[in-house]
Amino acid sequence: MENQTVSTDFLLLEGIKLLPQSKVATFTVLLLIYIFILVSNIGLVVLISLERSLHQPMYLLFCNMGINDVFGCTALIPRLLSDLFIPYAERYIHYINCVIQAFCLHLYASNCHTVLIIMAFDRYVAICNPLRYATIMTSKMVVKLSVSAWAVSFILVLILLSLSVRLSRCRAEIFHPFCDNASLFKLSCESVLINNIYGLGYTVLLLGTSIGSVTLTYMKIAAVCVISKSKVLNSRALQTCVTHLAVYIIMLMSGSIIIILHRFPHLSQERKMSSILFHVIPPAMNTVIYGLQIKSFFLFFLHKSQYTLLSHLQS
């Protein structure tokens, strides 16, 4: 078997295994969630782009997450929807399309961490070094940080998938709802030691940097708030940081559930469903959280405008 290779370029994709009577309901729910993610995230990006008062680093960085969320769910949900009513034995996907889907989904997951890291840096500068915030977080800096976040993820994922693509294939079936790196290198009968070493290093580097930087950032922010004992500063820190922290916790918990379920082989179906939810729940929740932040901003801006107008009339 180790000397045999598969010549076909088509793979059999497991997709979602459902009872016939639940397919319509699942299709409807997934479609509605996908439409909500598209409309809300694209609407958020358009709103920030058109509203000059929102042309601030924090809101411009929101655009990165919105674009990434649309990118991630688009790489997954349309394919899941198209496969729902196709018999399992006929769910074929071309190998190249499988590699592209795996690349896009891993890029989305990596971007979730790298973008949230630069958002944490933005909050750190805003609260711990407010006097220099305008000079540090310029438009040019925001662009540099955004490009760096996407570029780092792109390079890491490109290496990850390249190590799997180089392998010959002796299998043609993917036992997963969608294509990912693990599914690709499991198609080979060659040694995947290098893949496992790099995959482990990639995961440790990404998670370690993400958790470490966010934890360190919030520890310093908390220290500044405690030392200053300023209600205004503490209120500002809470208002600006709660959005970022909520998004980060949701993303981290969604990913952690998948890792935990890997330790329970008898819960393979639950793990597969949780891997789908990782690409669905955070993108749907993020826009709600961002929307609340922008609503708070507009209420503050409106209150400030009314106060300025009233003071002008009184004078």
Q: What was the pLDDT predicted at 222?
A: 82
| 223 CB-near residues (< 8 Å, 6+ apart) | none
Q: What residues are paired with 13 via a beta bridge?
A: 174
The predicted model gives 165-176 an average pLDDT of: 88
Tell me how far CA of residue 175 lies from CA of 13, 16, 184, 250, in angstroms: 7, 10, 10, 27
Whether the per-residue pLDDT at 43 is higher than 90: the answer is no
CA 19 to chain centre: 30
Q: What was the pLDDT predicted at 307?
A: 43
What domains, with CATH codes, occur in the chain? 10-306 (1.20.1070.10)
Cβ–Cβ contacts within 10 Å for residue 148, how many? 13
* pTM of the predicted structure, to 2 decimals: 0.86
The predicted model gives 162-170 an average pLDDT of: 90
Average pLDDT, the chain: 83
The predicted model gives 195-210 an average pLDDT of: 91
Distance CA 168, CA 2 (A): 10
Whether the per-residue pLDDT at 303 is higher than 70: the answer is no
Q: pLDDT by residue (tens digit) across 240-265?
A: 777 778 888 888 888 888 777 766 77
Tokens 């300023």 label which residue?
230
Q: What was the pLDDT predicted at 253?
A: 85
Distance CA 109, CA 277 (A): 12
Q: pLDDT by residue (tens digit) across 181-193?
A: 988 998 988 888 9
Question: In degrees rounded to 5, what are phi and psi of residue 3?
Answer: -95, -5
Q: pLDDT by residue (tens digit) across 73-119?
A: 999 999 999 888 888 888 899 999 999 999 999 999 999 999 999 98
